[in-house]
């Protein structure tokens, strides 16, 4: 508001609120996204950018290169699981054969 030389009354008018409501908004430590969107549009300033910048520093990198590396890792895991599955199927086949032979001798 200071950068735009807006009084609380002018700011309230832009938002369609009473001045007393604006006072409560400004005193609050938290704000809902709908209200932040309304304020962003009224002041023609993207306040969400600050949250995005903060998240970028705190959360793992989701850039395409990181995602491609994760996908490649998953593909390796799938190949290994398929190999293990084939080995297990082969072992099951051997066990069935052994079982049949044992059952014949009875």
Tens digits of pLDDT across the chain (106 residues): 777 788 888 988 988 888 888 889 889 889 999 999 999 998 899 999 988 888 777 766 667 777 888 899 999 999 999 999 999 999 999 999 999 999 998 7
Question: Whole-model pTM?
Answer: 0.49
Do 4 and 40 meet the contact criterion of CB atoms below 8 Å apart? Answer: no
pLDDT of residue 78: 97
pLDDT of residue 60: 65
**CB-based burial, 24-62: b 16+ in 10 Å, e otherwise:** ebeeeeeeeeeeeebbeebbeeeeeeeeeeeeeeeeeee
Cα separation of 88 and 82, whole Å? 10
Q: Classify 25 as helix, strand or coil.
A: helix
pLDDT of residue 91: 97
């Amino acid at each position: 508001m200071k950068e735009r030389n807006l009084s609380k009354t002018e700011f309230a008018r832009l938002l369609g609120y009473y001045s007393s409501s604006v006072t409560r908004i400004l005193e609050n430590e938290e704000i809902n996204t709908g209200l932040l969107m309304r304020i962003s549009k009224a002041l023609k300033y993207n306040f969400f950018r600050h949250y995005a910048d903060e998240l970028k520093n705190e959360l793992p990198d989701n850039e395409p290169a990181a995602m491609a590396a994760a996908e490649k890792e998953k593909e390796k895991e799938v190949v290994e699981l398929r190999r293990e599955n084939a080995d297990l199927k082969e072992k099951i086949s051997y066990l069935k054969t052994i079982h049949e032979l044992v059952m014949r001798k009875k």
